[in-house]
Amino acid sequence: MSRQANRGTESKKMSSELFTLTYGALVTQLCKDYENDEDVNKQLDRMGYNIGVRLIEDFLARSNVGRCHDFRETADVIAKVAFKMYLGITPSITNWSPAGDEFSLILENNPLVDFVELPDNHSALIYSNLLCGVLRGALEMVQMAVEAKFVQDTLKGDGVTEIRMRFIRRIEDNLPAGEE
Partner 1 sequence: MAVCIAVIAKENYPLYIRSTPTESELKFHYMVHTSLDVVDEKISAMGKALVDQRELYLGLLYPTEDYKVYGYVTNSKVKFVMVVDSSNTALRDNEIRSMFRKLHNSYTDVMCNPFYNPGDRIQSRAFDTMVTSMMIQVC
Task: Name the residues that contact partner 1, by CB under 8 A.
Answer: 17, 20-21, 23-25, 27-28, 31, 114-119, 122
Question: Which residues on adjacent β-strands are paired with residue 103?
Answer: 165
Q: Is 92 helix (H, G, I), strand (E, B) or coil?
A: strand
Cβ nearer to partner 1, comparing 41 with 74 = 41
How far is CA 54 from each of CA 70, 93, 102, 133, 142, rounded to the nearest angstrom?
Answer: 23, 25, 24, 12, 12
Smallest distance, partner 1 to C-beta of residue 36, A: 16
Smallest distance, partner 1 to C-beta of residue 155, A: 10
Cβ nearer to partner 1, comparing 31 with 126 = 31
Smallest distance, partner 1 to C-beta of residue 125, A: 10
Cβ nearer to partner 1, comparing 150 with 167 = 150
Distance between CA atoms of 8 and 62, rounded to whole angstroms? 7
Smallest distance, partner 1 to C-beta of residue 115, A: 4
Cβ nearer to partner 1, comparing 19 with 96 = 19
Smallest distance, partner 1 to C-beta of residue 28, A: 5
Q: Is 131 helix (H, G, I), strand (E, B) or coil?
A: helix
Distance between CA atoms of 65 and 122, rounded to whole angstroms? 39
Cβ nearer to partner 1, comparing 20 with 152 = 20
Contacts of 79 (CB under 8 A, 6+ apart): 90, 91, 92, 93, 105
Distance between CA atoms of 39 and 41, rounded to whole angstroms? 5
